[in-house]
């Protein structure tokens, strides 16, 4: 039966293929999940077959493994190592080039304009992370114009998460598994009893307009119920939890807790956690010139509070020990971020747990401060 409203619809798998081709026809570069290098990452998508149908990822502390599913679900996996941060706030970006010209330097603007991009398969936690980066990079005192141009024309097709990994805890941070805002279209995939269908809901005028063009059916009440149940089951099945009550004060009160030493004895300061984190935004700026002195470039690259050079100030690093660097990261994410930006710096995606080579788990580490609070507050004292 044809649907009367374009706000919600039931889409078949072939309609998903049409969604991709319609976005391409409108000039979007389509980015979606794909199997690459033994995991599932956002990559350019040409057709439906590029999506990871029948694949999932088992994720645990320090481990991520690609596995087969037996139901052919297209989006039956949780967040992979790459987030939308890689696209809106790229790992490296050339800020300027300069060339010597008659005894002076001429700035050459050679940065190509970023393509209009449509993202498919975006999880609720990732949309929450984008909102956090918007707050930091667009809505504070200074605007990051590189971020702004990449973010401005993005079309987002969210997929409500029905298959959280063992590392996920977005239900605790109230950032998933259902996407509630910040998308153009949200899909909930239902695969059961021989059917494979998507409940599609429009979240913007552009999403509604695009949905109108796709072959679809009126979503039956039963489909809506199945989608609701799948999301409730997903939230209930999350194995990790984070108690956010009084978390900031807990960290402020435990600046000298012995657990920081325990953490420092395990942390390699490799920075993986900050690089995979969809909200971490810190960068460093480097300049390099040609050996003949005729040209120079200025690059911006992701940096991390786990590197010693990150806090280098005229003659030394402020955070010279792994303990001080780990404490900075955790306290910023779960305490001072709220003071600065009004939310936690964490959306519960679990990436830092899976991609930490020694399996450090923020949910467990934070719980450790609750079980044996030291209540020794040196108020900004030692940085050891």
Binding residues for ligand SF4, rule: CB under 6 A, are 267-273, 276-279, 306, 333, 346-352, 356-358, 360, 362
- Rounded to the nearest angstrom, the gap between the alpha carbon of residue 280 and the centroid of all alpha carbons in its chain is 9
How many Å apart are CA 176 and CA 159, to the nearest integer?
A: 11
**Interhelix angle 259-266/322-331, nearest 10 degrees:** 110
Indicate the burial class of 368 (C-beta count within 10 angstroms; 0-12, 13-18, 19 or more): middle
Strand-pair category, 185-192 with 155-159: parallel
Cβ closest to ligand SF4, residue 217 vs residue 269: 269
Measured CA to CA in angstroms, residue 134 lies from 61, 77, 102, 248, 380 at distances of 29, 26, 42, 22, 29
How many Å apart are CA 227 and CA 186, to the nearest integer?
A: 12
Cβ closest to ligand SF4, residue 187 vs residue 275: 275
Measured CA to CA in angstroms, residue 265 lies from 277, 311, 321, 353 at distances of 22, 21, 11, 17
φ, ψ of residue 60 to 5 degrees: the values are: -145, 175
Minimum CB separation of residue 344 from ligand SF4 in Å reads 8
Q: What is the CA radius of gyration of the chain?
A: 23
Nearest-CA neighbor of 282 among 258, 309, 259? 309
Minimum CB separation of residue 303 from ligand SF4 in Å reads 13
In this structure, the number of other CB atoms found within 10 A of the CB of residue 37 comes to 8
Nearest-CA neighbor of 188 among 309, 67, 9? 9
Cβ closest to ligand SF4, residue 125 vs residue 199: 125
Nearest-CA neighbor of 45 among 67, 24, 18, 71? 24
Minimum CB separation of residue 74 from ligand SF4 in Å reads 23
Minimum CB separation of residue 151 from ligand SF4 in Å reads 18
φ, ψ of residue 291 to 5 degrees: the values are: -65, -30
Cβ closest to ligand SF4, residue 254 vs residue 304: 304
Cβ closest to ligand SF4, residue 45 vs residue 158: 158
Answer whether 181's CB lies under 8 Å from 354's CB: no
- Show the tokens assigned to 342: 């009004």
Minimum CB separation of residue 271 from ligand SF4 in Å reads 5
Minimum CB separation of residue 264 from ligand SF4 in Å reads 9
Minimum CB separation of residue 131 from ligand SF4 in Å reads 12
Which DSSP string corresponds to 359-382? Answer: ---HHHHHHHHHHS------SS--
Cβ closest to ligand SF4, residue 95 vs residue 358: 358
Minimum CB separation of residue 366 from ligand SF4 in Å reads 10
Minimum CB separation of residue 267 from ligand SF4 in Å reads 3
Cβ closest to ligand SF4, residue 234 vs residue 360: 360
DSSP code, position 219: P
Cβ closest to ligand SF4, residue 117 vs residue 328: 328
Strand-pair category, 8-12 with 283-289: unpaired
Cβ closest to ligand SF4, residue 226 vs residue 349: 349
Cβ closest to ligand SF4, residue 250 vs residue 349: 349
Minimum CB separation of residue 122 from ligand SF4 in Å reads 14
Question: ∠ at Cα 329 (383, 56), nearest 5°?
Answer: 155
């Amino acid at each position: 039966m044809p649907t009367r409203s374009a706000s919600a619809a039931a889409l078949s798998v072939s309609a998903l293929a049409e969604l991709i081709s319609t976005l391409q026809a409108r000039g979007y570069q389509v980015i979606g999940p794909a199997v690459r290098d033994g995991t599932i990452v956002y990559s350019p998508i040409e057709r439906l077959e590029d999506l990871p149908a029948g694949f999932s990822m088992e994720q645990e502390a320090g481990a991520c493994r690609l596995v087969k599913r037996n139901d052919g679900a297209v989006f039956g996996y949780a967040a992979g190592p790459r987030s939308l941060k890689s696209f809106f706030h790229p790992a490296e970006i050339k800020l300027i080039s300069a060339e010597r010209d008659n005894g002076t330097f001429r700035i050459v603007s050679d940065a190509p304009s970023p393509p209009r991009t449509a993202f498919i398969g975006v999880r609720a936690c990732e949309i929450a992370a984008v909102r956090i980066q918007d707050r930091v990079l667009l809505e504070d005192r200074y605007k990051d114009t590189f971020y702004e141009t990449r973010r401005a024309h993005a079309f987002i097709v969210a997929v409500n998460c029905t298959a959280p990994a063992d590392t996920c805890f977005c239900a605790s941070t109230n950032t998933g598994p259902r996407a509630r805002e910040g998308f153009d279209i949200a899909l909930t995939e239902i695969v059961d009893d021989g059917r494979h269908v998507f409940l599609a809901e429009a979240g913007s005028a552009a999403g509604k307009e695009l949905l109108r063009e796709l072959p679809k059916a009126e979503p039956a009440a039963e489909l809506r119920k199945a989608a609701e149940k799948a999301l409730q089951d997903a939230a209930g099945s999350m194995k990790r939890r984070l108690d956010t009550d009084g978390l900031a004060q807990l960290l402020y009160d435990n600046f000298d807790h012995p657990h920081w030493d325990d953490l420092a004895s395990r942390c390699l300061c490799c920075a993986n956690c900050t690089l995979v984190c969809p909200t971490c935004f810190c960068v460093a700026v480097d300049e390099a010139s040609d050996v003949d002195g005729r040209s120079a470039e200025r690059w911006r690259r992701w940096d991390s509070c786990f590197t010693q050079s990150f806090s280098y100030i005229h003659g030394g690093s402020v955070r010279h020990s792994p303990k001080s660097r780990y404490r900075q990261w955790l306290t910023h994410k779960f305490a001072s971020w709220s003071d600065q930006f009004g939310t936690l710096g964490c959306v519960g995606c679990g990436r830092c747990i899976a991609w930490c080579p020694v399996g450090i788990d923020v949910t467990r580490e934070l719980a450790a401060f609750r079980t044996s609070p030291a209540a020794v507050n040196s108020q900004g004292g030692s940085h050891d």
